[in-house]
């Protein structure tokens, strides 16, 4: 019942946006990533089928979007060390021990769209598996060249990509993001928007927005009329706004 209610509310309240796990295209105008060049990337799966992206931030925690999990009894597994999801030679699945969506994620809408997954077992870093750094504090200025990656669809109504793909994207200043999205959808204190020749879409939710060697955002939502739209740039949850929450969760568990 809660899932039905939340979807009804989202349908009525958020007509202009859709979460990237629910639109009909994926990393558009991207290229195949060099195998294992992003060892922090993970595939979140249900019944061995990819549903969302995520990324390792330690040997025990994955960061992703809160809307990627609909709540119990839905069970996610985490595929680490993957490049080609059809070839499991260098990858393996890890069960999720704890799901920790942000406490102020109302019905897991676009506000506070962030979640920690604690893994059942710690991963060991190697050439295929490792974690990525988080920002220490502060903001990302507009005009910063960053990148996104995922196993999302390549074409409208196409199939998911079995191989990890990536694309460059450039952050946009908050004033322009606010103007293009409006305050009902975009909140500069907790979001970043970006646009480029390529971008995220279906199946790419939860993956990182990476600037330099740091994950600064979590792929959250896009314009319902088209991914990577210059009219409504892709939006990412701003990780720096949630650092106290992330550190508190990890500290309390350790």
Catalytic positions, written as ranges:
67, 113, 205
Q: Is 95 exposed, middle or buried (0-12, 13-18, 19+ CB in 10 A)?
A: exposed
Q: CA angle at residue 247 from 244 to 251, to 5 degrees?
A: 135
Mapped onto helix, strand or coil, the DSSP state of residue 106 is helix
> Please, are residues 116 and 105 in contact by the beta-carbon 8 Å criterion?
no
Mapped onto helix, strand or coil, the DSSP state of residue 216 is strand
- What Cα–Cα distance (Å) separates residue 246 from each residue in 15, 47, 174, 186, 232? 30, 28, 23, 22, 29
> Please, are residues 175 and 186 in contact by the beta-carbon 8 Å criterion?
no
> Please, are residues 121 and 94 in contact by the beta-carbon 8 Å criterion?
yes
Q: Give the strand pairing for 92-101 and 208-211.
A: unpaired
CA distance 248 to 175: 31
Tokens encoding 168:
């460059």
């Amino acid at each position: 019942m809660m899932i039905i209610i939340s979807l009804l509310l989202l349908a009525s309240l958020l007509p202009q946006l859709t979460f990237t796990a629910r639109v009909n295209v994926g990393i558009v105008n991207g290229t195949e990533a060099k195998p294992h060049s992003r060892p922090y990337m993970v595939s979140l799966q249900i019944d061995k089928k990819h549903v969302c992206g995520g990324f390792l931030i330690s040997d025990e925690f994955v960061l992703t979007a809160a809307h990627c999990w609909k709540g119990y009894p839905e069970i996610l597994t985490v595929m680490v060390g993957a490049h080609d999801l059809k070839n499991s030679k260098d990858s393996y699945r890890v069960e999720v021990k704890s799901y920790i969506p942000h406490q102020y994620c109302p019905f897991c809408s676009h506000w506070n769209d962030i979640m920690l997954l604690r893994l059942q077992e710690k991963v060991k870093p190697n050439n295929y598996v490792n974690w990525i750094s988080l920002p220490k504090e502060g903001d990302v200025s507009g005009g910063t060249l960053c990148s996104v990656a995922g196993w999302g669809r390549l074409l409208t109504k196409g199939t998911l990509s079995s191989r990890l793909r990536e694309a460059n994207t450039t952050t946009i200043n908050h004033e322009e993001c606010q103007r293009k999205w409006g305050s009902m959808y975009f909140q500069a204190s907790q979001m970043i928007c970006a646009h480029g020749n390529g971008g995220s879409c279906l199946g790419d939710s939860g993956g990182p927005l990476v600037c330099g060697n740091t994950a600064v955002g979590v792929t959250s939502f896009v314009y319902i009329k088209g991914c990577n739209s210059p009219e409504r740039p892709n939006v990412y949850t701003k990780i720096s706004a949630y650092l106290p929450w992330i550190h508190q969760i990890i500290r309390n568990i350790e």
